[in-house]
A = this chain, B = another copy of it.
Amino acid sequence: MSLEKFSKEMLPAIESELKSQVARLDKPHTRPFYDMLTYHLGWTGEGANSQAGGKRLRPLIVLLVTAACEGQWENALPAACAIELVHNFSLVHDDIQDNSGTRRGRTTTWKKWGMPMAINVGDGLFVLSNQAIMDLKKDYPAETVIQAATILHGSSLDLTSGQFLDMSFEERDDLTVEDYWPMVAGKTAALLRASCHLGAILGGADENQCDAYRSFGHSVGIAFQVQDDILGIWGDEAITGKSAANDLLNGKKSLPVIHGINQSGDFAERWKKGNIKPDEVEGLAKLLATEGSYEYTHAISRQMTTLALNSLREADPQGEAGAVLMELANKLIYREQ
């Protein structure tokens, strides 16, 4: 069975569970509030369609890991949705913090309803994630529910720490590669690590297996972000659909840029002057590569990929879900968009 076939089975189940979780807010008095959440989740309003809510990658990973541990993936649905709700809470707040007007091709929540309402939409999604994880109690002993909630909360705290670091980077010009890791570990890897960990716990994995799955999630998360950083500078615009040089134009302190700055060469000199213009971007991307940052970042990406796949092998995923998990990991890491 392929990833596609698993997705066909799991994605509608995720969507249905998500809808029943969010329905907690579907009351006469708070209907417009509920509508804001369902808009963000891609179900209602302008541009609503099956892609508008994103790929539901994290909940899919939770369920695949549960299945690969030979657990009943349907029972893990509340945890899968809890992770997706945390992810979406962070997106709503991110969009305010980054002043982003569009997400997945649609107007962002704060652009549509204003900043104060959007803060509250994010808060609402976050509360719902806490309620969702508690629903595991239908199928798991209370101790397991507490264990799962503890994993969820830990990753949420890492997420806010990573968000703090990411925002504080904007003000700093003394960053080194060592500063990059805790930021990415929180901002990108925390939820993928938690997704794998939750899937393993709920699939009944033993402690060693749980550790291996958690490491897998962590490394996949880092590899995913490093690949994102590479595409943000050297990606093929025709494939990614966004200007390849976006990250340089936006002054984003991604891994290649931090590495480049620390080379103290011509790239660093230009970067310090700020305000990079569109016609400089191609030349600067080449310059950055010449100074070794492309090679460096690719080496890190390969290293993280190796770590991820080693951890996955150690976790010893079973059956078709195991094979599909391997397929998904490769797809995430070697993606070109």
Contact = CB atoms under 8 A, between A and B. Distances in A.
Interface stretch (A118-126, A204-212, A229-237, A266-274): A118-126
A13 interface: no
A25 B182 CA distance: 13
Nearest to A137: B146
A167 B117 CA distance: 8
Interface stretch (A153-161, A193-201, A328-336): A153-161
Interface in A159-199: 160-161, 163-165, 167-168, 182
Nearest to A142: B142
Nearest to A163: B120
Contact of A165 (B29, B122, B127, B134): B29
Interface residues of A, number: 46
A263 interface: no
Q: Please classify the interface of chain A as helix (H, G, I), strand (E, B), loop, or mixed, using the class held by over half of its residues.
A: helix
A150 B128 CA distance: 11
A97 interface: yes
A164 B33 contact: yes
A30 B167 contact: no
A127 B160 contact: yes
9 contacts: A30-B161, A93-B119, A96-B116, A97-B116, A123-B160, A127-B156, A130-B130, A146-B146, A149-B149
Please list the 9 inter-chain residue pairs (A to B) with the smallest Cβ-Cβ separation, ordered nearest first: A142-B142, A97-B116, A33-B164, A124-B160, A127-B156, A130-B153, A127-B157, A30-B161, A29-B182
Interface of A: 24-25, 27, 29-30, 32-33, 89, 93, 96-98, 115-117, 119-120, 122-124, 126-128, 130-131, 134, 137, 141-143, 145-146, 149-150, 153-154, 156-157, 160-161, 163-165, 167-168, 182
